[in-house]
């Protein structure tokens, strides 16, 4: 099942992320896809803010993985854009069992490495401010999150 929600500004996107954060659990995996500038990093900022992370959240394009441990639980923020699908040597899978939350931008670059249970969110640009977010939960926990917040 898929769920769709339309956002009309960055604040809407951040609010959705904050609502999902309220349902977080250890080893949660959120996979973000969409064009450049569609809101993936804005979503991550909202999630990190709700976790109590005060560091400035930026896309980890050049670092690939940024770890934030100053919040309620660790946040592992990944950006696979520059890897061009070559993710086998970054240790992606080890993050899925570290007890934190993993948010992966450009997750479609690593489909073969993603856990079976995860939440996928595709960001579609409608116009300068409007986005359609399409949620696709894999697994009961993620279905329950979608039912609870969407």
Nearest-10 Cα torsion for 139, 98, 150, 16: -160
Binning pLDDT at 50, 70 and 90, where does residue 83 land?
Answer: confident
Residues 130-136, mean pLDDT to the nearest whole number: 98
Predicted confidence at residue 91, as pLDDT, reads: 83
**Which has the closest alpha carbon to 32: 79, 74, 68?**
79
Mean pLDDT, the chain, whole residue set: 93
Domains and CATH numbers, the chain: 3-149 (3.40.50.300)
Predicted confidence at residue 135, as pLDDT, reads: 98
Binning pLDDT at 50, 70 and 90, where does residue 81 land?
Answer: confident
105 pLDDT above the threshold of 80 = yes
Binning pLDDT at 50, 70 and 90, where does residue 64 land?
Answer: confident
In whole angstroms, give the CA distance from residue 134 to residue 50: 21
Q: Can you tell me which residue has the tokens 């995996």? A: 29
In whole angstroms, give the CA distance from residue 132 to residue 144: 20
């Amino acid at each position: 099942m898929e769920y769709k929600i339309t956002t009309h500004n960055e604040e809407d996107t951040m609010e959705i992320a904050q609502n999902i954060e309220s349902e977080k659990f250890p080893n949660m995996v959120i996979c973000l896809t969409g064009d450049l500038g569609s809101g993936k990093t804005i979503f991550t900022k909202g999630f990190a803010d709700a976790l109590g992370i005060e560091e400035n959240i930026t896309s980890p394009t050049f670092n690939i993985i940024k770890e934030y441990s100053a919040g309620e639980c660790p946040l592992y923020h990944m950006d696979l854009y520059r890897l061009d699908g070559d993710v086998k040597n970054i240790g992606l899978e080890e993050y899925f069992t570290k007890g934190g939350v993993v948010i992966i931008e450009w997750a479609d670059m690593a489909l073969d490495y993603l856990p079976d249970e995860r939440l996928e969110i595709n960001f579609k640009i409608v116009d300068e401010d409007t986005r359609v977010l399409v949620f696709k939960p894999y697994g009961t926990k993620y279905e329950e999150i979608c039912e609870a917040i969407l």
